[in-house]
Amino acid sequence: MNQQRILSIDILRGLTIFLMIIVNTPGSWSHVYAPFLHAKWHGCTLTDLVFPSFLFVVGLSMSQSFRHLDTADAGRLIRKISARAGLIFLIGLLLNWFPFYLTPISELRIFGVLQRIALSFFGAGILIVLLKKRNWLIASVLLLLFLHWGILYFFGGDAPYSLEDNIGRYIDNSLVGEKHVYGGFGMPFDPEGLLGSLTGMSQVLIGFLFGKYLFEYQENTNKRILHVLYLSLGFFVIAKLWNFILPINKPLWTSSYVLYTSAIVSALLLVLIEIVDKRKIEKWAWIFRVFGKNPLFSYILSMVFVKLFLQVIKWGNTNLYAYLYSDVFSAIFSPKLASFVFALSFTMFVWLFAYLLHRQNIIVKV
């Protein structure tokens, strides 16, 4: 495995975690600037770019850690991939359950953000180890995208891309039961359910293929960057055209959504390569670089603190989270600005822990 860290990948990873925490922790969900809200169903906002960015970066990171794939022990790699995916999935379950005395296990949500990462990483990792060759992996991406589309279209109801009629909702409810599925849409439907892991895998594979093409060789760097730029533009155009028949939709994680978000994230990666890898202009991104060294640990820590602030730590007649927003931030700023400044402050609070690890050069491998 290659031990050299590529700064653009670290910064993109850190920027993604930074935004993940901000969009997850507004002071009040009643007062949020529009870009920091998810699209209600079809469509894509800034917030809807964050999670697929992380899956794309998972693939980028794998392109570095699997540099010596051809000479590696496939069985050993598969065991490592399986163990890591299992650990991430288990941590996701425990986060859903935490604090354990408040949520009966009979109502424990099975899926979630970490679970989607685990399943996507596992599926993509197995394909990478077994197939190895670029052309076979490209074929796998196409197969996964069209397989997901076909399952949605042919097995859904009269409106296969709707909340009520999509087949993913039926699969999850049948597999784990309605009490174990997310209920935030007004009915049991999990936006991180099982079916979307197919397209999640494809997003990881796209990140892997882009990373391998961009970073594996030292020669013809500018030519490779130009090729990826053209491919990103192609993804964007295809996604916008595909959107007419297969909507760009995060909760369903549609194939058009995968191409659309991969196009934007890969373009951002190219900008970072130019700025920080080639021109060495990197001081501006130090905050993101710190997050980028321990991304999953930082995300997990943020979710633990959110639950502690909301459900465990009481302050007067309310919880610490509500108290800080209503009595501290709202006393200084207008409601939406107070909500945003709260989210930014909370994010930097979590960043302090990432910084302590950075100071000690500690990388927590989750």
Per-residue confidence band for 24, with pLDDT thresholds at 50, 70 and 90 = very high
Q: What is the pLDDT of residue 225?
A: 95
**Is 12 a domain residue?**
yes
Encode 125-184 in three state secondary structure: HHHHHHHCCHHHHHHHHHHHHHHHHHHHHHHCCCCCCCCCCCHHHHHHHHHHCHHHCCCC
Q: CA dist 218 to 212, 222, 223, 226, Å?
A: 11, 10, 11, 15
Answer whether 186's CB lies under 8 Å from 103's CB: no
Residue 1 within a domain: no
* H-helix segments, 25-166: 50-65, 74-97, 113-131, 134-155
φ, ψ for residue 347 (rounded to 5)?
-60, -45
Question: Environment class of residue 75 by beta-carbon count within 10 Å: exposed (0-12), middle (13-18) or buried (19+)?
Answer: exposed
Q: Is residue 338 domain-resident? A: yes
SS3 42: strand
365 falls in which pLDDT band (50, 70, 90)? confident
Inter-residue contact 6 to 327 (CB < 8 Å): no
Backbone angles phi, psi at 252, to 5 degrees: -90, -15
In this prediction, residue 316 carries a pLDDT of: 86
Rounded to the nearest angstrom, the gap between the alpha carbon of residue 157 and the centroid of all alpha carbons in its chain is 28
Residue 80 to residue 73: CA distance in whole angstroms: 11
Q: Is residue 97, in this structure, part of any structural domain at all?
A: yes
Tokens 């909301």 locate to: 310
Domain total of the chain: 1
Do the Cβ atoms of 272 and 14 come closer than 8 Å?
no
> Quick check: 3 pLDDT over 50?
no
The predicted-structure confidence for 77-123, as pLDDT tens digits, reads as follows: 999 999 999 999 999 999 999 999 888 999 999 999 999 999 999 99
CA 13 to chain centre: 10
Question: Which among 168, 171, 182 is positioned nearest to 108, based on CA atoms?
Answer: 182
pLDDT tens column, 111-154: 999 999 999 999 999 999 999 999 999 999 999 999 999 999 99
Q: Tell me whether residue 365 is in a domain.
A: no
Does residue 220 sit within a domain?
yes
- Determine the pLDDT at residue 4: 63
Distances (CA, A) of 54 to 118, 160, 289, 321: 12, 27, 15, 26
Enclosing domain of residue 88: 7-359
Residue type (1 letter), 285: A
Place of tokens 């080639």: 278
| DSSP H or E stretch at residue 344 | helix 335-359
Q: What is the pTM of this model?
A: 0.96
Taking only Cα atoms into account, the Rg of the chain, rounded to an integer number of angstroms, comes to 20
Q: Band of the pLDDT at 1, cuts 50, 70, 90?
A: very low
Pseudo-torsion of CA 111, 114, 117, 123, nearest 10°? -60
Is the pLDDT score of 360 beyond 60? yes
Q: Is 3 helix (H, G, I), strand (E, B) or coil?
A: coil
Assess if residue 364 is contained within a domain.
no
Q: Model confidence over 285-316: pLDDT tens digits?
A: 999 999 999 999 999 999 999 999 999 999 98
